[in-house]
Amino acid sequence: MADARLVATARECRVQIIRMLTHAGSGHPGGSLSVIDILTALYFGRLRYDPTRPDWPDRDRVVLSKGHAVPALYTVMAKAGYFPESQLITLRKLGSPLQGHPDRTMLPGIEAATGSLGQGLSISLGLALGLRLRRSPARVYCILGDGEIQEGQVWEAAMAAPKLGLPMHGLDNLTVILDYNKIQLDNFVAKILDLEPVLAKWQAFGWAVIEIDGHDFDQIGKALDQAEATVGPVIIVAHTIKGKGVSFMENDPEWHGKAPKPAEAIQAIREILGVGDAAWDGHLAKNPGTRALVDELRALEKK
């Protein structure tokens, strides 16, 4: 079953997110864990790409506008074959192409530099328009953070998108996904600058809006199908849980931008794998790969 494969892939990616952030000693686990199911659904079954030809003109594009969640993107890119999974732990290290926020020039497969929030939607509009101008079948997927859409440039782009390129080159090839995890750096979004009514805002700007659970692969898949069949740009508002999969990270603004300590990372991985505390030692005895990962993280404790 396709869904079981996606669930398993996303689980492996979550483990790698925890691993790489622990090695890095800094980074953004909360938003990486909220967006990883969406990225998994895109990269394993949806996008047309060839990791051996990252500059293939007709590849589908992903612009991760919420660039701080790039650890999640790196994990799916590694699985997709853009670079070896062993490179993930070079995240944020001197000389690594895995920069703290995406760098297009250093890592083939990254479509745009992002991380200065609010810019990715405009870039995606231009990409979608440029692809339509040369009759490419490629699609553009732009992932926005919820706090990010407090930026004014997002609404300049939102106002432009439904009309851009018409009548000949309307943006039927653009799908935007809002990772609505309800938390930004300082606090809950509703406490900083509430976005609600967020669906009505996008509708008022002329967008087709689809609302889903961003951790349900069935719903993600159907929404992406529906977006492809829609004339004009579509936004999928994906309700997600910040820190999804790790009990002590979920729904806690503290875990927006803080790396786990090795002991926390090991607990997080145990929870992601769905293993109870009592069964953990038995699980490790039977799973040498996980055992090695736990040993690797424990060794960091001593550094």
Give whichever of 113 and 199 is closer to other proteins, judged by the CB atom.
Answer: 113
How many residues in the shown chain lie near other proteins by CB under 8 A? 36
Question: In the numeric block, which tokens belong to residue 33?
Answer: 């864990």
Q: Which of 22, 40, 75, 114 binds other proteins (CB under 8 A)?
A: 114
Is 129 a binder of other proteins (CB under 8 A)?
A: yes
Q: What angle do CA 236, 240, 242 make, to 5 degrees?
A: 140
Rg (CA), the chain: 19
Identify whether 253 is preceded by a cis peptide bond (ω within 30 of 0): no
Supply the minimum distance, in Å, between the C-beta of residue 103 and other proteins: 7
Q: Does 33 bind other proteins (CB under 8 A)?
A: no
Nearer to other proteins, 87 or 153 (CB): 153
What is the C-alpha to C-alpha distance for residues 5 and 2, in angstroms, rounded to an integer?
A: 5
Q: Which stretch binds other proteins (CB under 8 A): 22-30, 110-118, 197-205, 257-265?
A: 110-118
Q: In the complex, what is the shortest distance from the CB of residue 73 to other proteins, in angstroms, rounded to a whole number?
A: 15
Q: How far is the CB of 57 from other proteins (least distance, A)?
A: 7
* Amino acid present at 159: M
Q: Residue for token digits 């497969």?
A: 109
**Cα 174 to Cα 62, 155, 212, distances in angstroms:** 10, 16, 18
Taking CB under 8 A as the rule, does residue 130 contact other proteins?
A: yes
For 235, the token pair is 């936004």
Residues 6+ apart with CB under 8 A from 36: 10, 13, 14, 17, 72, 75, 76, 244
Contact with other proteins (CB under 8 A) among 51, 54, 97, 126:
126
Q: For other proteins, give the closer residue by CB, 118 or 262.
A: 118
How would you label 108-137 residue by residue, b for 16+ Cβ within 10 Å and e otherwise? ebbbbbbbebbbbbbbbbebbbebbeeebe
131-160: contacts with other proteins (CB under 8 A): 131, 133-134, 136, 152-153, 156-157, 159-160
Asked if 125 is part of the footprint of other proteins (rule: CB under 8 A), the reply reads yes
* CB 120, min distance to other proteins, A: 8
State how far the alpha carbon of 260 is from the alpha carbons of 18, 26, 267, in Å.
7, 8, 10
Q: Determine if 73 is a binding residue for other proteins (CB under 8 A).
A: no
> Which of residues 41, 76, 164, 284 is near other proteins by CB under 8 A?
164
Contacts of other proteins in 166-195 (CB under 8 A)? 168-169
Chain positions contacting other proteins, by CB under 8 A:
57, 103-105, 111-116, 118-119, 121-131, 133-134, 136, 152-153, 156-157, 159-160, 164-165, 168-169
